[in-house]
Amino acid sequence: DTFRLLYFRKSARSAGSLSYIRNSYIQINVKEKVYACFNEATELLRFSTTAYIVVSALTLMNCASIDDIPTDLQTQQDDLLLYMSEMAGKIVKMCFHPPNTVSILNANTSQKDIYKYCVCKNDIEEDMIGCNNKKCNRGKWFHYSCKDITNDEILSEEWYCCHVCKVSQSSSEVKDDLVYEYSQMLLWRGIGETIRHKAIRSNNGPKMLMYWKEVMVEFFKMGHTKYFLCGYRLLLDTHGALSLRIAKQLTWNITVNVH
């Protein structure tokens, strides 16, 4: 999915694209059909992700090159670790784009259903609040309890049900930066591949399950029914459907015993 969304031979002249990086570093074994060059494509993605992380960090540190020293760089070991942790958090926050879960929320709602509001899709007698985004397709009106809002809470004049509605309130007001969106997607997907690979190499079963949860939205969105069902069954079995003993076995059976 990553290469299908981000790799185009026609973008070879677009600086920063996967195709551009592939040609610049003569990675001729990388093709559009990833199944024929999986290892090479993975290496290109990791290399590109590392480069994007470095560039993002330099930008946040106000450095022109890797030889520059940030003015606010800490010298003490503990402070330096905290500084780098905060910088990593800023990079992740910069590239994170909340997934559009509308199709999942409305998956069990047919055209004949009358009640289309709130994420719960239940008509209950409770106060509701409206999303300020007129194009909101998550429910438009939401129960206070579903959005964890109390009646006594003072709300601002503009209230949005989610971050997606807030940033997309008016597409005419802000022109989309397609280059930034591409960089954002490449960095996010590259980091995701890196942390999943680390969890596998570290034999970290709980982490792998956590990443399964995160990727379920994409499986549904991209139409990967087989993987979605496999992930659903795995998460169901490890979170209460089966006994603790079997759940523990499933958690660690997905890792590799190196001993």
* CATH code where residue 156 lies: 3.30.40.10
17 and 93 part of one domain: yes
pLDDT in tens, 172-226: 444 567 888 888 899 999 999 999 999 888 888 899 999 998 888 888 888 889 9
Q: 57 and 68: one domain? A: yes
Q: Determine the structural domain holding residue 88 and report its residue range.
A: 2-98+177-201
Give the torsion sign (CA, 227, 197, 85, 45): negative
CB 128 within 8 A of CB 117: yes
- Write down the pLDDT at residue 222: 83
Q: Are residues 86 and 191 in the same domain?
A: yes
Which residues of the chain, if any, have pLDDT below 70? 100-115, 151-157, 168-176, 254, 256-259
Find the angle CA(124)-CA(126)-CA(129) to the nearest 5 degrees. 115
Q: What is the pTM of this model?
A: 0.68
Within-domain flag for 90 = yes
At residue 194, the pLDDT reads: 92
- The pLDDT score that the predictor gives to residue 257 is 61
In the chain, the number of structural domains is 3
Do both 81 and 193 map to the same domain?
A: yes
Which helix (H) or strand (E) element contains residue 129? strand 128-130
What is the pLDDT at residue 112? 56
The pLDDT assigned to 173 comes to 46
Domain contains 166: no
Q: Is residue 152 part of a domain?
A: yes
